[in-house]
Amino acid sequence: MSFPKAFATTEVERAFHHCRVSLLLVFVLSFFVNLLALTVPLYLLHVYDHVLSSHSLDTLVMLTMIVIVALAVHATLEALRRAILARIGVWLDDRLQTSVLVAAVQSALRSDPAAAAQAWRDIGGLRSFFGGSACTSLFDLPWTPIFILAMIVLHPLLGLIGLVACVVLFGLAALNEVATRKPFARSSAAWAESQHRFEALLRNVEVISAMGMLPGVARLLNDDQSQAKEAQLSAAARANVIQSLARFVRLLAQVIVMACAAWLVILQDVSPAAIFATSILLGRSLAPVEAAIGTWKAVSSVRLGYVRLRKIMAAAPQPRKTMELPRPNGQLSVEQVTFLPPGANTAALRRLSFVVNPGEILGVIGPSGAGKSTLGRLISGTIAPTAGHVRLDSADMGIWLAAGGHRHFGYLPQDIEIFGGTVRENIARLQDASADEVIAAAAMVGFHDTIMRLPLGYETDIGEGGMRLSGGQRQRLGLARAFFGHPRVIVLDEPNASLDFEGEEALRQAIQEMRRRGSTIIIIAQRLRVLNMSDKVLVLDNGMMNAFGNRREVAGKIKTARATVPTGQQQIITARSSVRRLGREGVLEPARHKTAKRPVSAEQSGVS
């Protein structure tokens, strides 16, 4: 078997490749299980042909004992087969769990959270399939010829009837696949999208309840589910017709084969026991086919799940095994970075280049939609640039993350995500950490005293999404998590949101302490007074860098730019507006030298 080079696809196929011995064992066990299913028909034949004719009680007892042992072995092998299949399902779940989680996270970062959630459900569906009856029916299908051969041994005409019935049922199974494949696929995709929307709505129950949006929400969900229901009804209607037809064919075949057997008995071509034996053999040969038709929805669902898993995992970046790197100094370099969001035609960031040295604080400002948060995500490594490089100490950010360098980074996103669990677990990033490290991170942002007032202190369960915390407490918890472990690079997106004066003062002191320790800090803010501690300022607008430098340089460059600049005029006006706001809040100190009266070019002014 050959595998594509993509890591994720290789992982999902390798997982099944490693199961090949176990699956082969199940296949062999299925042969003996189906072979032993001939026990009862053979018993009937011998009882009619030998016991009744000889009136031998000893023969009856001996045959009965042999049949009991055979049935016990049959039951044991059947249980063993099901146990192996169930263990295969659990093993696949364990094997693929981590790689699927990585792929799901990458998918969510690519703005496709629905596919990420569906991948996790597909893992469960795969596990359930191997533990269910649908899988055993598929393993019984290849051994249907055993029972047809047994019928041929009784009489060729009986075998021919059984063969025709099997061919007809196989044809109905193929028709079922063709007729229901597309409707089942549409239904599955629509239900997954509806489930994703429902989960998203549950995260906003307060807004829905407070503003009377429940009727509108119900209408949205009904609209989402209508397509799924329509596709499901279409598939179910077709499947039901085919299942009913298959059941009719099976019963008709049994009636015909029993009638033919009785006719052959009258002609004295077969023994009377052949009537019952043939009926049992035919039922056993047709049962896997009929079961496959009845469970085709489960088979189709797991097949679609497998395809989705391969797709989402193939899209995940290939992991690079890298030796562990030493603690970085903290020099951050952004080199000609451009980022084009998936599915977008316009770049969110274009050709950004700047350097932030260890121990420096960079303030990033600009209007809404300028690309500030996107830049923060690039620096933190949550997304990769479309072009260019983000480097830490000359090494690409991907190398640091592949080497397990996440502990060197702290990140506070604009929308803080708090995980269900305790305060300690959230601060420690869901890892085992000493109490001293957790307390130090909380104390640094002034959150320790607040935590100690909670019912169980650091062991308080804060609920899913931190629902038991206020907005300010959630903000401080996110800050404590970002500062945990004294990372070398810290990205703070709107760090003072939801903070009162005391919280902002604690934040300022924490930032100054991390600067003293040599950390490189990126602050993205709308409320400009939090930038009064910045060493450098980056002004973004429309994904481009309008100005970059220390506070005095940025103020001087933009103030000397004239409205006569032929290109970038609107960017300069926006940058000037930003500088005026910075000046009003005391963030930027204007240059003290006199401004030249002649017009300057955009290149001289530092505006790109």
Where do you find CATH 1.20.1560.10 in the chain?
Answer: 7-314
> In the 8-state DSSP scheme, what is residue 324?
P
Where do you find CATH 3.40.50.300 in the chain?
Answer: 332-534
> In the 8-state DSSP scheme, what is residue 409?
E
- The SS3 call for residue 460 is coil
Q: How far apart are CA 334 and CA 345, in angstroms?
A: 23
* Closest by CA position to 103, among listed 88, 90, 120, 91: 120
| Cβ-proximal residues to 308 (8 Å cutoff; 6+ apart), any chain | 115, 118, 119, 122
pLDDT for the residue 598: 40
H-type helices in 315-394, by residue range? 372-380
Structure tokens at 342: 């998936």
Yes or no: say if 33 and 81 are a contact pair by the CB < 8 Å rule. yes
- Going across the sheet that includes 361-365, the strands are 409-412, 489-493, 520-524, 361-365, 536-541, 544-550
| Torsion over CA: 536, 541, 543, 545 (sign) | negative
| Cβ-proximal residues to 300 (8 Å cutoff; 6+ apart), any chain | 177, 180, 181, 184, 185
* Closest by CA position to 109, among listed 370, 384, 363: 384
* Closest by CA position to 286, among listed 111, 394, 179, 165: 165
Yes or no: say if 488 and 519 are a contact pair by the CB < 8 Å rule. yes
Yes or no: say if 579 and 559 are a contact pair by the CB < 8 Å rule. yes
Helix (H) / strand (E) containing 13: helix 7-18
Q: How far apart are CA 355 and CA 424, in angstroms?
A: 35
Other beta carbons within 10 angstroms of residue 291's beta carbon come to 17
Other beta carbons within 10 angstroms of residue 235's beta carbon come to 24
Task: Give Dmax over CA atoms of the chain in angstroms.
Answer: 127
The CATH code of the domain at 332-534 is: 3.40.50.300
Residue 344 is which amino acid? A
pLDDT for the residue 591: 39
Q: Quick one: residue 586, left, alpha or beta (phi over 0 = left, psi -120 to 50 = alpha)? A: left
Structure tokens at 576: 């000037």
pLDDT for the residue 400: 82
Q: How far apart are CA 320 and CA 404, in angstroms?
A: 11
Nearest-5° Cα angle at 403, 402 to 404:
90
pLDDT for the residue 528: 60
CATH classification number, 7-314, choose in 2.30.30.90, 3.40.50.2300, 1.20.1560.10, 3.10.20.90? 1.20.1560.10
Other beta carbons within 10 angstroms of residue 577's beta carbon come to 13
> In the 8-state DSSP scheme, what is residue 478?
H
Query: CA–CA distance from 342 to each of 145, 317, 397, 514 (Å)?
Result: 52, 15, 20, 35
pTM for the predicted model, two decimal places: 0.67
Yes or no: say if 378 and 538 are a contact pair by the CB < 8 Å rule. no
Structure tokens at 516: 């003293």
Other beta carbons within 10 angstroms of residue 171's beta carbon come to 13
What is the secondary structure of 551-605 as a DSSP string?
A: HHHHHHHHHH--TT-SSSHHHHHHHHHHHHHHHHTT-SPPP-SPPPSS---HHHH
Do the bridges between strand 349-356 and strand 332-339 make them parallel or antiparallel, or are there none, so unpaired?
antiparallel
Q: How far apart are CA 95 and CA 15, in angstroms?
A: 7
pLDDT, averaged in runs of 10, over the chain (608 residues): 43 85 93 90 83 83 92 94 93 86 74 70 86 86 88 90 90 82 76 73 71 76 75 80 87 91 89 85 85 77 84 70 77 92 85 92 88 90 89 85 81 87 91 91 92 92 84 90 92 87 89 92 76 84 88 68 46 51 49 40 36
What is the secondary structure of 42-98 as a DSSP string?
A: HHHHHIIIIIHHHT-HHHHHHHHHHHHHHHHHHHHHHHHHHHHHHHHHHHHHHHHHH
Yes or no: say if 398 and 451 are a contact pair by the CB < 8 Å rule. no
Query: What's the full length of the chain, in residues?
Result: 608
